[in-house]
Chain A
Amino acid sequence: MALLDEIKDLVVRGHINIQSKYPPDLAQKPGVEEKVKEALDQKLDIGDILRKGLIGGMEVVGDRFSKGEYFVPEMLFSAKAMKAGLELLRPHMVDQEAMTLGKVILGTIQGDMHDIGKNLVGMMLEGAGFEVIDLGINTAPEKFLEVAQQHTKALVGMSALLTITMEKMRDVVQLFKSNGLKNKIIIGGAPVTQEFSDQIGAHGYAPDASQAVHKAKELLGI
């Protein structure tokens, strides 16, 4: 198997390095780290290692996840393996920005403590190659504004689980408008709908984490 295909396959299997016990059948065998080092030693093209090996592997993982063949924990292992490979590439990248698809500012809206869905979206975005700035739970509209002012090209993602907190999303959209911010805003969460998204003037809505990644790419023109 060609080295880039091996890297891709190891990302799919979520095997980080020779010390990793996951998956059990690959324990004590070389992982993504060892193979990326080998690729660097062979002076393979950095862009190829990144796109055909690491991101290529995560695309397979995303596809399997969408088809219900992979679970979140498996995707998480793959994302960790990809990140480990990415860290080895970082010193060799001239354009650091090129290592990510873009930035996403994520947070659970003020008054809401539920973050499993938001964390899942964050994980999938990172796996797809985005840089995620996670503001955590109970995030005030002013906090979204403050961070977005520092990252004016970033996509902003908000989640809510409670019907009584989703209205706060409207405040964030209004605050961004009144401060002249052009960041695209995407929302989600159990009680949130496309209709609600349209009503408050958000730019997008995703019913689940997988579709949030597609929507993020669409909104950022990727």
Chain B
Amino acid sequence: MNKLANITFGTAKKPVHCGNGISIGNGLVLPEINFTLPPIAVTEKNWPNICQEYRKMVQEICTRASQLQCPGLVVEFELLPPMTLHPEWGAEITSIIKSILIDFHNKQGLASALRVTPVDVRENERPPKMRSGLHVEKTLQSFELCAQAGADLLSIESTGGKELHDDALMAGDLAGIIFALGVLAVRDMQFLWEKIVAISKKYQVIPAGDTACGFANTAMVLADRGLIPKILATIIRVASVPRSLQAYIQGAQGPSKDCAYEGPYIKALTGVPISMEGKSSACAHLSFLGNIAAACCDLWSNESVQNVRLLSASAPVVSMEQLIYDCRLMNEAIKDGDEAVKRLQKWFTESDAGKDPQALVLHPEIVTSISEKFLKYSTPLEMVFYSVEEVLTLLQDAMKNKEVIIPNPDLRWFDLISAQLDSLPRSESGLLDILMASSQELKFIPEEYGL
């Protein structure tokens, strides 16, 4: 990792070939579809109905994808907590989905791959045990069984450090945020992804990637609801890059998870393809990044949608259709050549970047500029400190130049964050001392992070 990759949509420096004849980041943007159950208890009694629900959803999705001549799709099966706590349940659904995908490939020629994402059930305990115990076993067993059952891509939304970050975020406590992202999360990613990569090698599947969803998206959602400043959420977005990068340093090959909005940075730094979500994930959450999220994507996702009936079809089928048309447009630009790609990327970017600070830091030029500077730092913690300083300066300059709108209540937070940053020690041990002095009981178990 010493030179940046170009970032544009549809093309990655290191494409991934997998599943039933699919290539990701190889000159096409492909849809990634995700879905979840309507309200229903996941129990042994309900299990046959649940299997049938998944079977029906995937069959309908594949039928629509075939009708619309989709050049290939990735189906993500994101396990629900009980399906990771009972790893054989997750594996059974994996097997059901995979057999449908193979059937559509054989009969309709529909190229596809199956991404399986077990839940990080380690956070079922507070404070969580990250390296030992039942929940670690269940999480890793879930990866093993799903890989055996037919997953092509393995991913996770891992949560190491979240137990500290959640409270720090609510308190606007920069020491906690930096320690969670730059120390705990980094150490946990290294631990966890070494194991996921080993499992992937054993079963010859692709170790795909992670997401800082539990950190940066939590911040984004809170900011979008006016609960924390948007500038804090923007800082956390960029400061989560060093943490997510660890998966790829350990051997993950992409595509990153759809909800990892840090994806463009990962693509620039590593060259792996990325999955992104934006306007067509409105079924799952509000977004101020609807267009700009597409600027560098290789997979284009709906995040998740409940299987409810809409006027035209079930919601997952509707999502599938929307994603296919989004991708068609991007692929038409790719077909027209570099100028068309640059033009469409500019439109994606310019239509969002000035309206929200969180969108601004996804601007490809800013991603490239910040990523270049990331390369100069030797430790993830240094990169996190740099992120905070850089984003504060970037946003203040952009605001002065009228390049971005920053809400009024956010403005006093420039000084509040700067004052905190100036007072912090720059070492792991110095930060840990502050955390220990400021709380009666640590929210995390240092030994579970090798501290």
Contacts and interface: CB of A to CB of B under 8 A. Distances in A.
A123 B166 CA distance: 14
A120 B222 CA distance: 11
Interface residues of A, number: 30
A137 to B, nearest CB: 7
A24 B415 contact: yes
A73 B80 contact: no
B317 interface: no
B250 interface: no
Interface in A22-80: 22-24, 68-74, 76
Contacts of A22: 416
Interface string A77-103: 000000000000000000000000000
A95 B80 CA distance: 48
Contacts of B337: none
B228 A72 contact: yes
B419 interface: yes
Contacts of A123: 170
B163 to A, nearest CB: 10
B82 interface: yes
Secondary structure call for the A interface? loop
B126 A69 contact: no
A149 B413 CA distance: 44
Given A116-B222, A167-B39, A167-B40, A68 B415 contact: no
Interface in B163-183: 166-167, 170-173
Interface stretch (A3-11, A140-148, A158-166, A172-180): A158-166
A71 B409 contact: yes
B254 interface: no
A164 B40 contact: yes
Interface string A104-116: 0000000101011
Contact of A72 (B37, B82, B227, B306): B227
B229 interface: yes
B81 interface: yes
Contacts of B41: 164, 167-168
Contacts of B123: 113
Given A70-B409, A120-B227, 16 more contacts: A71-B229, A72-B228, A73-B171, A115-B166, A116-B222, A119-B167, A136-B126, A138-B124, A162-B81, A163-B36, A163-B39, A163-B40, A163-B306, A164-B80, A166-B39, A208-B225
27 contacts: A23-B416, A24-B415, A68-B226, A69-B409, A71-B226, A71-B228, A71-B229, A71-B409, A73-B170, A73-B172, A74-B172, A76-B170, A115-B166, A119-B167, A120-B170, A137-B126, A138-B124, A163-B37, A163-B38, A163-B39, A163-B40, A164-B40, A164-B42, A164-B80, A164-B82, A167-B39, A167-B40
Interface of B: 36-42, 80-82, 123-124, 126, 166-167, 170-173, 218, 222, 225-229, 306, 409, 413, 415-416, 419, 423
